[in-house]
């Protein structure tokens, strides 16, 4: 057993958000910090832990998710806490109970583990790192005299809009009676102009009592008490926003959080078995395939799915479509593809339940990505230089689209929920894959790809920001 009096390494209790898009960057950040000399006790919830091991996707025991890192000498421990309530298998079609449990019940279980690690771990825990969207980290950290490092897995733009929610309310763009202002938002520090229609989805419903809204409000009260904020974004891509946030808090852009660049050694969530698409992609001409995926959580409506499917077929473009079980309509696992789809797409289309998205995006046959605008998908596409076609579904995704299409100009809009039409879909696909507008988007994407990759080199912004965070944290701990 290590001699704790001699072990001066910081020991972080790192509580990851229990969703694919939160868990994976958290696990990869944990590896980066361990490689810099931290001890990490990495924690997820029981439901997420079992979802992963029960999926049959992983040939190794879940507790060995960090085994490769450990075999390189990194000190990463893995633990699991109760969600507080049993999480039903169909939770994706009704997120509210999960959000409720995490808002109200998870804290006690994390606290129990924390007390154990303060008393019995070698060496004891010295800081708390937690997903920003938890509603208790600052309170808990203060109670035990620990610094709190908040980890934000979405763009800085979304962070700052939540952080300045009081300004949206004071200016009547949110929560106004009888209705919200509809003119452009120009007063949020470090943000040039936002159309209210592009705000995060739950700002559109006036329902401030929705669990998701309460969760965001409370978690951003908590983040005001954070000692440091780490963000999975790139300084150069959101410079103005980040500079404005740095006037409020020690705020470090350290993304994209891919250990050792974008290697296949990244920790994966392994929620579903990955289908190998490489042979099929190898048979396709360069940049000819549109990759289609709507992420791991939220389902797309039957209506929108049907319009998009027909638009993809009409476009005559080659495509690879990830259609995970339960991802259309109310979550039924019946095949949602229309009759005749397979014949119509023979020779140019492939549908799989899940794949290694990184391998697909890195393949030279892939020339475009029709995405729901999950932030991880966007970062991965930036790294691979694949231009985007955007169809956001929920929460941060509409705002992420603004960053992609308006600020960075590396993608095109496909239309909006409930309104997207097949003719527009097919035109947009042809435009992105072959047209003049696609050319300009591709050029911008090349620049963004360079910035994204260079951020992780030893002289790059994210590399240096992570080092600076560690220097500042060690000073704080001294």
Q: CA 417, CA 430: separation in Å to the nearest integer?
A: 21
The dihedral of CA 218, 224, 225, 226: what is its sign? Answer: positive
Contact between 20 and ligand UDP (CB under 6 A)?
yes
Binding test (CB under 6 A) with ligand UDP, winner from 147, 374, 392, 411? 374
Contact between 69 and ligand UDP (CB under 6 A)?
no
Contact between 354 and ligand UDP (CB under 6 A)?
yes
Kindly state the smallest distance separating residue 166's Cβ from ligand UDP, in Å: 27
8 Cβ neighbours under 8 A, 6+ residues apart: none
Taking each helix axis as running N to C, give the angle between helix 436-455 and helix 461-477, from 0 to 180 degrees, rounded to the nearest 10: 40
What separation in angstroms does the CA of 324 have from each of 54, 262, 299, 331, 367?
A: 16, 24, 10, 10, 22
Contact between 155 and ligand UDP (CB under 6 A)?
no
Contact between 376 and ligand UDP (CB under 6 A)?
yes
Cα-based angle 137, 143, 146 (whole degrees, multiple of 5): 70
Query: Which of 87-95, 255-263, 376-384, 450-458 is the region at the interface with ligand UDP (rule: CB under 6 A)?
Result: 376-384
Contact between 375 and ligand UDP (CB under 6 A)?
yes
Contact between 28 and ligand UDP (CB under 6 A)?
no
Contact between 377 and ligand UDP (CB under 6 A)?
yes
Q: CA 449, CA 442: separation in Å to the nearest integer?
A: 10
CB atoms within 10 A of CB 477: 12
Kindly state the smallest distance separating residue 182's Cβ from ligand UDP, in Å: 28
Residues numbered 319 to 338 that lie near ligand UDP (CB under 6 A) are: 322
Cβ contact 353:423 at 8 Å: no
The H or E element that residue 68 is part of is helix 67-71
CA dihedral 43, 232, 251, 463 (to 10 degrees): 100
The dihedral of CA 235, 238, 240, 246: what is its sign? Answer: negative
Kindly state the smallest distance separating residue 268's Cβ from ligand UDP, in Å: 6
Residues numbered 260 to 299 that lie near ligand UDP (CB under 6 A) are: 293, 295-297
Contact between 411 and ligand UDP (CB under 6 A)?
no
Kindly state the smallest distance separating residue 377's Cβ from ligand UDP, in Å: 3
Contact between 355 and ligand UDP (CB under 6 A)?
yes
Query: Which of 31-39, 69-77, 247-255, 351-359 is the region at the interface with ligand UDP (rule: CB under 6 A)?
Result: 351-359
Contact between 24 and ligand UDP (CB under 6 A)?
yes
Cβ contact 388:368 at 8 Å: yes
Q: Give the residues lining the site for ligand UDP (CB under 6 A).
A: 19-21, 24, 293, 295-297, 322, 354-358, 374-377, 380
């Amino acid at each position: 057993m290590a001699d704790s009096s001699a072990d001066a390494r910081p020991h972080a209790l790192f509580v990851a958000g229990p969703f694919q898009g939160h868990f994976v960057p958290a696990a990869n950040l944990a590896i980066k910090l361990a490689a810099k000399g931290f001890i990490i006790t990495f924690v997820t919830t029981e439901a997420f832990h079992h979802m992963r091991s029960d999926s049959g996707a992983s040939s190794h025991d879940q507790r060995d998710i960090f085994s490769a890192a450990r075999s390189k000498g990194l000190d990463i421990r893995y633990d699991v806490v109760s969600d507080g309530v049993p999480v039903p298998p169909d939770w994706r079609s009704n997120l509210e109970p999960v959000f409720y449990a995490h808002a109200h019940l998870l804290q006690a279980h994390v606290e129990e583990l924390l007390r154990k690690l303060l008393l019995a771990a070698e060496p004891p825990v010295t800081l708390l790192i937690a997903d920003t969207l938890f509603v208790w980290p600052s309170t808990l950290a203060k109670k035990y005299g620990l610094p709190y490092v908040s980890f934000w897995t979405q763009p800085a733009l979304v962070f700052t809009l939540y952080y300045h929610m009081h300004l949206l309310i004071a200016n009547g763009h949110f929560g106004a009676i009888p209705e919200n202002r509809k003119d452009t938002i120009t007063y949020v520090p470090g943000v040039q102009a936002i159309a209210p229609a592009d705000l995060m989805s739950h700002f559109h419903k006036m329902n401030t009592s929705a669990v998701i809204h309460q969760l965001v409000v409370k978690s951003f009260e908590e983040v005001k008490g954070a000692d440091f904020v780490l963000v999975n974004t790139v300084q150069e891509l959101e410079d103005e926003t980040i500079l404005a946030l740095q006037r409020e808090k020690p705020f470090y852009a350290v993304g994209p959080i891919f250990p050792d660049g974008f290697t296949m050694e990244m920790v994966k969530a392994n929620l579903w078995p990955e289908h190998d698409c490489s042979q099929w992609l190898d048979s396709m001409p360069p940049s000819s395939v549109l990759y289609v995926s709507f992420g791991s959580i939220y389902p797309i409506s039957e209506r929108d799915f049907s319009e998009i499917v027909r638009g993809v077929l009409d476009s005559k473009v080659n495509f690879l479509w990830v259609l995970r079980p339960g991802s259309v309509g109310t979550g039924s696992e019946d095949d949602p593809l229309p009759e005749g789809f397979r014949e119509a797409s023979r020779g140019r289309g492939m549908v799989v339940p899940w794949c290694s998205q990184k391998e697909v995006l890195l393949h030279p046959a892939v020339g475009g990505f029709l995405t729901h605008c999950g932030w991880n998908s966007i970062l991965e596409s930036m790294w691979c230089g694949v231009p985007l076609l955007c169809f956001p579904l929920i929460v941060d995704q509409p705002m992420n689209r603004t960053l992609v299409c308006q600020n960075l100009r590396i993608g095109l809009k496909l239309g909006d929920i409930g309104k997207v039409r097949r003719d527009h879909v097919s035109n947009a696909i042809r435009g992105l894959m072959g047209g003049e507008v696609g050319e300009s988007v591709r050029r911008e994407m090349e620049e963004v790809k360079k910035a994204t990759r260079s951020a992780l080199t030893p002289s790059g912004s994210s590399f240096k920001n992570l080092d600076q965070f560690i220097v500042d944290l060690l000073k704080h701990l001294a």
